Each structure stands twice: as C-alpha cells, then as structure tokens.
Structure 1
Amino acid sequence: MLVPHSDLADNHQSMEVVSQPEAGNTVENQPLEDPPSSRFTWKIGNFTRLNIRKHYSDIFVVGGYKWRVLIFPKGNNVDFLSMYLDVADAANLPYGWSRYAQFSLAVVNQINPKYTIRKDTQHQFNGRESDWGFTSFTPLSELYDPSRGYLVNDTLIVEAEVLVRRVLDYWTYDSKKETGYVGLKNQGATCYMNSLLQTLYHIPYFRKAVYHMPTTENDMPSASIPLALQSLFYKLQYSDSSVATKELTKSFGWDTYDSFMQHDVQELNRVLCEKLEDKMKGTVVEGTIQQLFEGHHMNYIECINVDYKSTRKESFYDLQLDVKGCCDVYASFDKYVEVERLEGDNKYHAEQYGLQINDRYEFPLQLDLDRENGKYLSPDADRSVRNLYTLHGVLVHSGGVHGGHYYAFIRPTLSDQWYKFDDERVTKEDMKRALEEQYGGEEELPPTNPGFNNTPFKFTKYSNAYMLVYIRESDKDNIICNVDEKDIAEHLREEVAKEFGIPVQFQRFWLWAKRQNHTYRPNRPLAPLEENQSVGQLREVSNKVNNAELKLFLEVELGPDLCPISPPCKMKEDILLFFKLYDPEKEELRYVGRLFVKTNDKPTEILTKLNEMAGYAPDEEIELYEEIKFEPSVMCEPIDKKSTFRASQLEDGDIICFQKSPLVETDEQFRCTDVPSFLEYVHNRQVVHFRSLEKPKEDDFCLELSKLHTYDDVVERVAQHIGLDDPSKISDILYYEVLDIPLPELQGLKTLKVAFHHATKDEVVIHTIRLPKQSTVADVINDLKTKVELSHPNTELRLLEVFYHKIYKIFPPNEKIENINDQYWTLRAEEIPEEEKNLGPNDRLIHVYHFTKETAQNQMQIQNFGEPFFFVIHEGETLAEIKIRIQNRLQVPDEEFAKWKFAFLSLGRPEYLQDSDVVSSRFQRRDVYGAWEQYLGLEHSDSAPKRAYSTNQNRHTYEKPVKIYN
C-alpha cells in the first residue's frame, strides 16, 4: 500500500495500490542534476535482532537531493515488511518545497536473483508527504524463512532505484506567458479528448475551415457543434488562461454519464470528423475534411485455384496499425500491406493483435512512404506526389488508475520547438521528450553518484504514444497557414468578448473572511502589493487552515453605458454593502446591487438610491433589515434608518434586505409580510410526499409545507390540493417513514452503497453504509462485518472498485471515504480467500474476467461482462490445471465449460491459450500500472439479460458506444 507511513491506520489489512503523483508547489532554485538517477544498495546486518520500530539507511544523493530508505523491520502495524523512500532533509527544506521522483524498492533474493521482490511507483514529495512507499511490501513470514533466500547470514539486502524529475510551480505558472499557448480544462474522464482537440486546433487549415462554417448570433453554442467548436478554437487562440470544453460536449448531446466514459480517441475523432463533414455540406468549406485527412487503400481477394480477383477501394481518415512484434512504424506498414492467406480458422486473426505493456515501438521524425520504390503504394497510385511526411503531433497515454492520463506533444509550426499540452498546462519540451521518451519499453540510465553501485540500471517507462499525426511535406505550407481575426465571424468575436469579461484595469479583487457566526463575507480588497503576488501566496494569506481553494470576490464598476470602468478609490471610512429586494406578493428575495457608504452616514441618505435600484418612486417608504445569518437559525434584524452605519455595527460585506413599508390599512394579505418572516419560512419549508391509502407505495403528490405547521395546517393544505371542501373528511391517520438518523446528522455523513459478495453462497446483498465523512475504508469494513454473514468469524474483508466488469482498485484501509465515488463505480466487498493470504514466492495473483467478442465496422471489440475476480496461479502451472480450479470455483457444468475458451489479454487483445501453455509466463513479474488490462480472459456467451445490474445498483453495467447527438 502506498501511503506516507505516518498516516497508516492501526487496524487495517494488507493491500497494495499505486497512487498517482499530485501537482504541487516547488522551490524555484531547486537543484537538479542531469541525468538525475542512481541506484543505492543497503546491506542490513543482524536483521532479526533489530528491536527498533523504524530503521533508516545512510543518506544518498540523486538529482542534487538527499534521500534515504526507511524500513519498519517488524511492519508498520502489519505483518509485512514496510518500506518507503524518504526525503532525508525534509525538516530543513524551505516552506512549499516539492520534488517528484519515479522509484523502485527491492528486497534482493540472495539465492536466486530472479525471485528478487521489486516494486515501482512515483510520487510528488512535499512537506506533508516526505516519505512514500509500500506498507505491505512482503510478508514477514516469507522474509524470515531461510529457505526463501532473502535473509542469508542474517543479512537483508535492499535496493533503491531513483529517477528525479523537475516539477513546475503550478500555482504561479502561466502557460500563455511561457509558451504563447493555453490549455484545456479537464472535464472528467474525457481528458483524452483534450489531446485530440489540441491536435485538431493546431492544424491551422482545419481551424480556418471551422471558423468559416456558417453560424449566426441566434445559434446557441450548447446546441450547435459548429458554433461550440468555433467558440472553443477562438478562446484557445485569444484567451490568456485555460479554456473549458463543457459547451462543446453539451453540443455533442452528452450527459454527465457520457462525460465520464472512457471513449476511444480514434472513434471520437472519426465521429467528430464525420459530423463536421456533414455540417460543412453546401458551404464554402465543403470537402475540407476529405482534403485534409482522407486516404484510400485497396483490399483485394485473389483465388488460388480459380481465375478470379476482387478489388475494393476503401477510404480512411486514419490508419490503425498493428504494433505487436513490430519495432517501428515501418515494420507496422510492412505488416499492413502484406498478403495474407485466408483459409479455415485463420480467416480472421485480429484477436492476435495487441501491444504488450512497455514494448518499445519507435516512430520517425520524417516518415517516407515512398521508400523501397513505393512498396506501400498501390499500382495505380499517383507517383508524381512525394509521400514524405513530417511528424506534427504525438498523443500519449501514461498508465494510471481508471484509464491513466492523456496528453499531447505538438509542434504547431513544424519548427524544432515542441510543446506538451497536458490539460490546463502547456510547457516547452525538447525533441527527445516528445519522441524517444514515448517509445515505451525500458530506458537504461547511467548512475551519477560516485561511491555507490555504478552498474547501469533500467527504468520502465510509464508513457507510450498511441496516436501520431504526420503532415505531408509538399502540403505543409497550405496546412500550416495563417489564421487571424478576419477568418472569424463578428458575432462570434462579440459573444466570446462577453465571456472574456472585464479588462484587467477595471478589476478589483476582495478576499473573503469567515466570521464568528460561521458566515462568509467579502472582507477587504487586495492591497496593491498583494495584486502582484502569485495565487499560491494569496492562498496562504487567505486561509488560516490548509485549504486548496482560494476564494475571491471580483468587484466591477459599471458606467452609465453599462460598460466597465475603473473602480472607485476606497477610503478607510468606506464600507461595501450588498442589497437584496423583497417582494411579499411574489415571495421573492433577489439581489439588486451594492453600494459604498461612509461609516458615519445614515441609511436615510441612500434611500433614494435604493428606490432607484428597486424601480420604485424616489419617495417610496422602505424598511431595511440586516441579514446576519441563515444557518443553523435565521437572524435578521431591522435597521434604524436614523442611526449611522457605524452605530448599527455594519461593515464590509454585510447584506441589507429592504422592502416597501407595509401599509397599516390594506386588504392585501401576504403569507410572509416582511423579510424576517420570509427567511424563517424559507428556513423551515419542507417538501412532503403524500401517498393515497389505496396506493401506499406510490407518491401521489408533493406539497411544500413548513416544519412549524400543525396537524390542522397540514390537513387544510392537503384538502386544498385535492379539491376537498371539508377537510374533516380526510382521515386522521398519518403514514410515516422514520429516517434511521436525524436529517442534520445525515448531512454530515457519507453514504456508500456496498455490494457484498458472499464467499459460499451465490448471492449479492447491497448494504447502505453511513459513516462520518472523515471515516476510512477500515471503518466501512468494520461496519459491514456487523451486517453480513461471514463464512468464519475471523474472516478478513476487502473493498474493491469495479467498473465495466473489471477490478480497478483494492482500497487501502486508511483511505478516507469522503472522496470515494459510488455513482459511476461499483463498490464491492468480499472475503479474502485463504490462498491469497499464503502466496508463495512463485505464486501470482492475477485478474480473471469474462468476455465476448463482437465485430463492429470491421473492428473486433472485446466486451467484458459478469463478475471479475482475483485468482492465484503457481509457477509452471499449465492452463489445463488452472481450468480445473476455475471450473470448481465457478461451479460450471462440464457441458457448458467445454465450450469456453481461455486467453491472455493485454490492452484488449486476446492471445488464445492451449491446455499445455504455462500461464504464469504470460504475466509480467514486476508491478506495472494498469494491472487490470492484463488478465486471464474466459470467453463464453453472456447468458445474463441485457439490463442494469440491479443487485449492485450500478446503472452503467453495459457500456454505451460513443455518440454525438446534435
């Protein structure tokens, strides 16, 4: 489990997960050597005699930083060796320091090195998390077993391999200032979409065509793909900060669920281009998509024994190349055009395609498709055109939780300068980072520190290119063209100008403050010196507690023409007040504006101005109230109009509510005659569901009532609603539902739906767990144990995250539940099998999933279904032996089980196994990101009905294809 060792809960079970690095602050003058990498070996003698809880290694230096290894010889509250990488001088580093490292920790097997236990991770080290690593590194029982080979002569050998990378201060980093480009905000799990949009935007010919698509000022961007894309591109071109994509996804017709789906970038690109192609028909830019992206390939079938040949010309916008077994792009093209003999069961072998995790795959800066006399070209291809292509963009996937992370390297003008577009951030990068570091595979890094082990070592790369964009040399001047404001419709410029908002010289920001009554109000404007400070520095000033958020109020002064003007100079005696107008007839309280007043002035001096803000006659009599607080109880007091603002104890940020003075003699009767009564009403109103006695399980209607209503009040309101003249005809019997906890207490709790899978019974039971938001996963498990039937009283449970029939995560016991999301992912609890607790050194715990194959648009697709599970395999164990154990576990009848196929799947491509195959040889020994993408697949028909899996309340059991609806 990867956690800072000090944060570990005492009562937890052994689990391992990999944490993603977090963005953090850094000190600008941090040192960084090149190459910033090294290996450190630590021999620990008399290991079994160590009686200390913590044990630190000597200090070693990597990348100019001091590091050390920290171990817990007896475990950090677990029966495992606990091991971490620690920043040695953390206590002496300046405030806000940060450093980022990829590293591996290992316990060396001194009898057989191939059984060395090595685990990799990466982390953003900072003041709160100065150590990071593995709480459950390896069981102490195995470590102390002399036959295992880890302890020889009571000596343990530990190795640490560390690679340090520089990080940016993302609080102060300005992408536009540093690079001239801005990023796109991460909308959710569609972060790969940002890479694609940046790639398309940086094809100027494409951008110009989008600008020239006809749209009008009456169009709504959220309902028009052309206008939404125009707006997005315009903001990318002229904005000074990152741009949101929500309008564009709304124009796609995506709902919240769609925004969280992990679509395939190639599929999204095809659908988006097809949609734009359709929208461009009949316009001046018709045919642009074909001109930019369309190519053709020839498919032919030639019979061996019959004089027959069939040729078919097909168009494409992108090429999907096979990379398995290929060292570079040219090898993939060789495989793409090779003649294939189709016979028997070999007619379709797409399932053999796939890329092993971290296989090295190279791509050139210039791609020559005319090489070797144009062997990739069809006989009737136009040979007068030189097919030499220059690399323009590299879209990258970096392995991580829930699909990993996506970003793009692009060189917009095809110069030597590359840029990395990583959601909101854009940074300058060199060619090596954009190309060679995205080849995948392993990188051999030389050591840098004399006095340590100087043997070169390899680091697994965590990022791979998955989509390449090349531009033909002969067309680059047309494609990399100039795009300026004359290409942009006037109505679009006006609309975006509104969103861009207020010129800097007309802005004044205020800090918020929390008052003693727990309300928040704008407290004071930023001082001139503070206006030049970074956001990070302001956050430290604003927050008395450690809070990632910085809240500001933007004050904008409008002139007579409603255009922004410079804010007035604020003197010490000036206070800023906010005003709300109450209308008792409409029962409406709305904000109408703000004013600066002098502390020694009186409300009578601003009554005319308030009447103007309300649209009343200048001499209208009005009453004023101060809205002091709303929770947990309402406090709203009248203001004496003849007293000064100072005497009424009014200050910056206070809220004044006003209304017409109620007339003494009037026939009008209002439910809430003044502001205090209205606020009390709002505070106490409650929506109540009513059900007819004939249909006690169905809501008949709802009424908005008050918590202060009597029984007679409720009966009268119900009678009015159902049109009953005599309320006494309504039964005096009330049906009620009792919440298991008070409503205010419920609001302070986190509610999770957990599906418990019984170990011996074929059943799944959903349990609702309500715990304080600061509770941990261990608390969830302990609570669940009191509600479920266990196979044994001392059975241990674990909590899993399941998504689309794959296990993505085992939750560490000390993880806070506040950030756990059970809306899109299923939370599954299960007993930990005994065989998993007693893994031998040669055993592997693998993922096993059910799947079927489907073919859509000539593309083979894997569809997972059913319940995924973990399974222990042994070194040298054949598939035939494993099949017996799986059949026993799943209780599948022989006749049905005989139809099943077994395959090793990596990144969605199956490699079918024979009974004699040794299964363990297919699974990598070392820990890698995306372990859920390497699994043993059970291919068979899905006999379950195609419906939502009601037992676990997961509404998204079956994945929807990517669609753009508008």
Structure 2
Amino acid sequence: MNHSDIEGDDSFDKSPHVETDSGVEATSRPLASDDAAMTAKLLKPIPDYPVLGESVNRWSIANWNHLNQDKLHGPRFTCAGIEWNVLLFPRGTQNSGVVSIYLEPVPPADSDDDWYVCAQFALALANPRHPEVYLANPSHHRFTKSETDWGFSSLIDSRALTTPQPRYGSETIPLLDTEGTNGIDIIAYVRVFDDTATGVLWHNLMDYDSKQATGYIGLNNQGATCYLNSLLQSYFTTSIFRKLVYQIPTDGQGGVPRALQRMFYMMTTSPSPISTMELTKSFGWDSSDAFMQHDIQELNRILMDKLETAMKGSSIEGELNSIFVGKMKSYIKCINVPYESSRIEDFWDIQLNVEGLPNLESSFKNYVEIEMLEGENKYQANEEYGYQDAKKGVVFEQFPPVLHLQLKRFKYDFVVDDLVKIDDFYEFPDTIDLAPYIDEESPNKNENWTYKLHGVLVHQGSISNGHYYAMIKPNADGGWLKFDDDKVTKATTHQVFDENFGAPEPTPQQMARMSRAESQEYYIKRVTSAYMLVYYREQDLPTILPAASEVTIPEEIPAQIDAELKAREQAEQLRQEEMYYMPVRYITSNQMAAHTGFDLALDETNPKLYDQRLAGTAADPITVKTRKDAELSQCVKTVAADLQNPDNQFRLVPMMHRCNHTNRADRPFEDGMLSWSVAKVYNHVYIKKYDHMVVFVEEAAKELHNVAETAPEAWQSPEKFSWEQPLKLIESASDADAELVDIQENGTHKLIFIKYFDPISQEVRGITHATVLRDDTIQSLIPEVNAILGFDPSTELVAYEELSPSKIEPLDVEASFSKLDLDNGDIVTFEPANAPTVATGPYKSARDYYTFMFTRMHIMVSPWNGDEDSDVEPFDLWISTLDTYAQVAAQVAAQLEAQGEKVDPKYLRLYVRLPSAQGSQVYTLRSSHVLSQVFSRQMPVNSTLAFEYEVLPVPLVDYENLRRLEVVWVSNFSHSQPLEVLASRSATVGEIVNEKVIPQLNNGEPVDISNLLVWVGNDNRFSEFLKPSSSLESIQEGADTIYMGIFPVEVYCLAANDMYKRFAPTDSELVKPTEASGDGEVDAVNAELEVAEKHINQVNILPLYHFQKSLNYRHGIPFIFPIYPDETFADIKARLQSRLGMGQQAFSKVKVALTEGTRGSYLEDDDAVVYDQLKKIAETHDASIALDHPDRSTRKPNVFDRGITIK
C-alpha cells in the first residue's frame, strides 16, 4: 500500500479564527455536513491548473464493531469521468491497531501504461449525528498504474475512535457514534486537475525524460554546484551569448572557452544530463571547490573576464560588452552654480537592495535616489565656486540588451557574525519600463527601454543549507521552464512569479494558528526567493534569441568529441584486452648502450628517476603485448624473430626488483618453465607489488669475452675516445659458435653487467654483459674492456659498483668477484684512471656523474614576472639539488650570455614559482642557499620547475641586507601618501624617518616631527608603536605597513604616560601645533589637547580599525583613538568625524562598534558614557573601536570565507 507522507495532520485541531492581513491563511472549522465548505477548506486551489472535476462521497458504516474483514472497499463513485474507491483497513495494513485509509482510482480498461490522473483529495472520519466532530486529512497524488492508491497508513489509533478529544471538535463526543449503533461516516473529497500545462504535477520524475518533454537537458550536480548550473543554463538559453561563445578562437587548446564550447555543444546534442566537471576543471577547481557554494556574482564576473581575454585580438573582441554591458553616470551637481562633476562607467550587472523594499520598481528608485550635500557636508566645487550645496547620485546612460539584476538577498549580520538571508516578500514584474531611470540629457532617453523577464535564478533554504535552481523562458513567445540540476520541467507563471517572491515574516500569534501543513507550506514559500533576474530588452529580442540555424557550432567540436568517444571505446577495448593480455618488456644490449642513467634501461616504476621525455626512445625497453595463457616459449620465439637469432644463441633472464629499489638481472629462467604460461611465470618469479614482467635478453655473441675477440687492434687514448666504435662493435657482434654459460644460484659463474664513464662526453653508458668465474678478479676484465673501447690493453682503469642511485662504491680491481660480494645482475662501471685530469666537464669521475643524475632537477628559466621588455627567450637547464646559489647563478648567467645578455652572476636574483591552490606562489632564493635546503635531495626528473631571474642594480649579497618597506604618510584619514622605502636592516626608525621619508614630503622642505606618531599596521589592524631608536630588524617581516603622521593629541597622551618617545626633543610634554595638522584644524586640536591634559592620567587609548559588514573584512588605515572620562558617545562621534575628515552626510553612514576580541556590539545611545563601558570590558578583554562602512579602495572584500578563482 502507498501512503501519503502526511499522517494524522489534524488540519482542524486549532480553534476557529479568521483570516489576517499578513497574507497567511488562518484556519477555520466548518461542519462535516457542509460539503462545499469542507471542500473549500481542505482542497486548496492550485493556480494555473484547470479543474476537470470535483466530487464528495460519503460512505456510512452502520456499526464499526461489526467490521470483521481486514480490508473493505467503499461504494464506487465517479469524479472527472473516472471511478474511485475508498479502501479501509479497520485494524491497519499490518494489524497494528490503527485505522488505515486510502483513495484508489480505477484505470479505464483501455488505458495504456502511461495512464495517470492528478487528484487532490481529503479523507475524513465523522460522527454521523454530530457533524462538528470529525477528523479530516488532506493530501494529493499523481495516480498511475504502478501507484494506484494513496492515503494514510496511520490515520488514527483505533482506541481514539471512542475517546472524545477537543481537536476532533468536542470534549464529550467521540468520532464513533457511541450514542447509537457505533456508526461512522467516511467522507472522500476529490478534485481532479488537468496538468497538461506542465505534465509534471506531483510527478516523482523517476522515469522522466527532460529532453523529450522540454527539448532541454539538465546538468549534474557535483556536490554543491547547483548555483553554477543555474547560471550556465541562463547563459545557454541566451542564444546570442551561446552563438558568441562558439566564435571564440581556441586553436584547439583547452581552457575555459574551449570547455564552455564543448559543454554548450553537449547541452545541444546529448539526450541526457551532462557533467560540468570538465568546465570546473578548466577553472582550476578541485573537488573541494565543487562542494562550496560561491558568490554567483563573483563567479559571473570572473567567467566573463576569462572569455573577454580569450576574445582579445579577434574579430569578436568587445562583443560581450554589446550584450551585457550598460553605462551609468555618477554625478555631483551643484544647485546654485553651473558646476557638475560626473563620471561615466560600465556595468555588467546592477545590485539592488531588497530589504525594506516591496518590489523591483522601488529598488530602482532607491538606486538612483539623490543624496543632498549641504550644511557641513557641502561639496567643494573648484577654486571659482568653493563649497556649494549639491546633489549627488547616479543615473543610467543606457542599459544592455541582456540585463542582469542582482537582488541583495544576503547580508552580513554583525550580531551573529555571519551571513544571513533576507526572506522578505519582494515582487518583480514580467515587463518593466526602465526609461524613467535614463539620464534626461542622454541622447538615448526617448528610445524604447521596455524589458521582458526571461530568467529568475532562485535560492531555496538558508544561507548554510540551501538549493539553487532557475526559471527560464528560452523563447520570446514560449513558456517557462524550471532548470533544477539534472531535471528540466515546464513551469507555470504562478511558479515563476508568486512562488519566488518570498513571504513576510508572520507574528508568533499567526504562526500559532497555522496547522502543521500550513506552517510547512508557509516556510517553504518564505525561504524560496529570487536572487538574480535576467531581463531582455524587448526591441532586441530577435537579436538576443536568434533562430537555431544561426547559432553555428564549430566543426572541430563535434569532431573532437567523436574522437574522444572513439578513444574511450578503444580504452575500454584495451581494458578488456588487459584481462587476457599482459605486457612483457625486453632489454637488449641496444637498450643498455642507449641508456645513460641508472640500471640497464628506463624503469617507469620508479617515478623519481623515470624520464618521460625518453619514453619510446632506444633507452626504453621493447614492450610486446602477450597473451597471459601463451607459453613462455612463445616469448622466446618472438625475440628470436626480432633479433634474427636462433633461440639457442640467447636466453631470457628475469629483471628483479631489489630491496634497495634497483632492478637487476637474476638467474635465467629454468628450461622447465618454457612450457609454463606467461601468467604462471609472472606469478611464480616476480614480486607483483613492484615488478612488471621485464626480461634481459642475454645474447651469447655479445658477451664481453666474445665481443673482445672481434675488436680491431686500433688503439686510442681515453682523451680521444668516441662511443661510435664500441657501440658499432657490440651491435654487429655475431658468432654462431658462441655458447651460453650455465649460471646457477650457487654455481661457479656469475652474470655481471659492464658500463663505462667517458670523461670526454661526460656520460655513462652500458657496454655489455660478462659471464665471470666467482674467483676471477675485476682486473681480469680490464684488457677485454680496453679492447672493446679501443684502448691500449695496458690502459689503467678504475672500477665502481652501481649499488643504488645514492650509493656508488669504488672497487678494488685486484679483488675477486666473490670477495667483493658481486653477484648475478650487479653492475660494474669503469673509467680511465686519469679521468679527473682529462674530464672536459664538471663530472671528474663516474661517482660525480651518478651523484648529479641522482640529484638533478630540470628547470625552465625566464625573466622575472614575464618581463615583456626582455629579449631573452626562456631556456631550460639541468641543475643539481647539491648546487649552491652561486653555482646556479653562474649557469643562468652563462645561458644569458649565450643569448647576448652579459650579466655578472653576483647581480642575479633568482625566484622559484611553485604551483599552489591559488595559482602560484613565488619563493625567493637567497645567496646563502644550497638548493637542498629548499628542495628535497632527489626531485622527480619528469617535473620542470619554473625559475625566474632579476638583474639587480647592486650585488645580491648587498641587496639582501636591505629591506623594502611600505610606508604611508597620513595627512588625515581621508588623504594619505604611500611611499616606498628601501633601507638597511641595521637602520633605526629615526634614521628612516629623517633620511628616507621626510625628503619625499613637501618637496624636501623641513617637517616638524616633534608630534610625529609612527605605528605598524598588520592586516589593517593596529600592531605596535615604533620609537626613534627601534631598529628595522626588530620589526616583524610580516608587518604590512608602517604608518606615520603628525598627531599632537595622540603623541601627547602616549608620551605623558611613558608609552611613546618623541622623534624630536621638546621643552614640554604638551606641544601645541601652530598650523593645521593631520587631525583637524588648529583650534580643534588645541581644544582637544586641553581636554587631554585635564584627563591625562585617566585617558583610555584604544586601537581603531575599519571593516565592512564582517570583522574579518577589514580595510583602511588602522590607528588609535583616545577616550576621555565623562565623554558621551555623541562627543566621540564628533571627534571621530573630525579625525576622519568626513562630511556629515558621509559620516552618518558610518556605524561605530565597540569590539572585544572577535565579537562586538554597535554603539547607538548618544548619551552613553563609553569610558564607563570600557571599564567592564577591560577586566576580561582588550577593547577596540571598529568603524563599519564601505571600503572605498579598489580592493573589494569577498562575502564568502573562501574566494572564488578561475585559474
């Protein structure tokens, strides 16, 4: 049985009352005998859905106690041409002691599988003799052939039928007619709707096809990307924008434009919802970004910036502006003189206030509202007119064809220290005329500025737990669609408008009168509201929504996607093949000769040493895909065919992974294994955790002794050595009579591999393998090695064992292999004894070479910050993590000189640009650094690090003793002068003031610094005062800014209380200014100095900072502010206004707060004595004054904890 999720709602359990003026419907209780009143109360109208039929059916049960059946059908009745039943389970569906009741339609005999009927209904139990006593529960359902009944599984406990309850209408009469025959009436109220308008009324959307129903598909939610999905659907349905995106030149490259093109193509052609993951990856987002809800306006703007950048230099540059950008004029116009100051700016969207405003029209009026500048807040026009009364405001010059309106539904609440949502009722129209907001003097004033609504982006829920979806009208004459993540459905105008206005907040009394269903319905309505509106200019509709044939998709996009689909199919095919095949990798003498690194060949299982750039070269093992069930003998045949050697001239030796992370040849496969399957051999021989199936092909003809016999007697010295002769000799070695020597685990012979370090070419290469007796000495190999290398047999060679990449050990050539503990697969590297003297490069020995190969790192060097004026092309270098800064600088200078830029390496400053979640971080290398202090000793050779260089005017060592300071000279807190100071770290603050700062002020004229205040700000908060004797080294490196200015009051208060030392000696602690200073006119300063002198022992000096909405989003210049005893908040505001240099109108918008740590409260009582409040705070916390007002600088605070980025 199916049942409604509303069980025992008790819709009429509240006392009767009437409707209120709040828009919230009140509950009333009609009689069960009044069918019309009951129907009206129980079955609420559903706007935009026509009623097909309505019926009330009463089933009278004479005696409830005589109902012996577990399930009963009531009398059939007809509604909207369909027959209906009421199903009754007197003891519940599970004999659970409850009454279960359901409504059931009877599908017509000729109905198909898609048959359905949408019905709103209520089922009631009523006392037949007392119509005021009843229980009625409403519900609704989309009945289908798979869901043929719906109702209430626990309508009421069976025992409650005979128990009077006030909520059923009486304190003395029960539902069951106990006065008579225990009868009861079951009443069904049914209303059937026509849902052809949308086709989804009460649809569970389980088997719903968005494409078939609407022509559009949805977007999958990655976690919390519903806000992004809404915006993307809005852009996609704005056809002119989609058309423009397709025209962006991408040259087949990735990035945001290409990902957006591909996504739009998939949204056009895919039959089912698609993922946005490719697009968010192009943003540079990781999985954590997908689970964060970002500011839609911020995302919108950054996305447009990315697309604008991609369009630069193309035929469509600037076209985005023609779609989305309007112009507004900010002005200040004098009232009594002919003077106006104005500035015209572009806008991409308009942010409109919602709080306290009823509708969109009022928000526009609020936006262009005029502010009067008069009285103390007069406007200074120019030298001719001076201070004048003026009007300040904004007006629009023109609106764009596609107008984005951001409704400010979210605000920062200082009390809870978090964002909150504004759920107030707020209307927006289908059509709006914006002509009243166009500048009267604009040449566009008389044009048609009527706009039609085409998009409503909706937020449902709270700020921390909400959902986003979009209502969009994709065509000029079509209907509305709801885009809700992966589902797209048709929508009614009521759903678009009325359901997204929000709702007024009810009073507690109104809430108390609501039933559970009514309060739930109201809550959903209140928290569901539009936060962004998209309007199209009516006269531009044909251009904004061109025909589908005009939106041309670039040919390469479907071609690329088809290629990707084929690649996926091939990948799947390969995956299937992996079930039956496995790769077998072969190393021959050719790979040894081409390999210049560790082991015998490239090894992709070692990520730090594997060089991807060499993949597929001669140094890479030969890979053959082999069936897992093939016999090992088949591998032998494959090699024989490739080498064109009979299979008795070679054998396969497994390469095993040793515990020191090296790969070495082991004993040859046993003959009995030739009949084993490849899979069995792999599982038996190899360590699956580390090893691929790699084998060395041991060729008898290429064994050291056999090759040496064929070497010509044309000798040369190591200084004349070239690899050409020995490599050709080994490659061409062929001897049909050569035999393979038996090698057993504890046998007399061992398989050893030989390498040679050439000090001339500065590289190590493999020569060949040697089969040696355990008791042979290393010396016994030297004559034959000399022969292959073309050296005189008497040439002295020294030897090393390549134990591991980090361990290269010298060998005593007179010692035997057994004494040196050399076993199968070990590698011996030879070099001339005079290698250190003949070496032509930095590696004087094989050990030097191996050390470099182990510690090498690849870097790409370019000018600092991509200096466009530099003629130097970026270049790459291999350096060692053991290099000193001087060594790296010398190599960089050598490369620069090769490009024609001669630079002394001592003047080079090097930076490392490291990738990070925010894009990249720059790390400055110091002259004292060894790279291993910055990087791990072994870096992955596949990675390439970005180095940048800067040529300094002085040697780096001297430069590092200097410190760059950001100094701000504060004339007043509305006007400041940033200065950049470069000073020695040993300098004092006094020296910096006199030698670096004062010369930059007033054209170098002397400045009286007896009232100079110097302080440090960090993250826009006051940090500490600086004394003249303070050394630069004592100031934290992380300190943002040093502030300086002439502040007589503050300096006096501090100095008199031994909290500060003046920068110039004075005869008195109290130094009055003789001319205007940084904190107001002379008279005002002197007047405050008198107050300060009177209360000098009681003055409370507080840090002060500025913020916007949240204490975490600070801005402006932090400073200090004295609070005096008996001073009211009104007095403090007057002094603050003077300090800030603000007019009355501007200062009226500043909120003053008193903060304790991370919390605070606004000061609002003008008569309050703040000094007394501070006494209470001082007992437990440090107090500060915080000024809440907008940041007028170019840096805008982000309203979310984590900024949004598209990298």
For normalisation by structure 1, the TM-score amounts to: 0.42
Higher relative contact order (Cα pairs below 8 Å, separated by 6+ residues): 1
Point out the structure with max Rg over C-alpha: 2
For normalisation by structure 2, the TM-score amounts to: 0.34
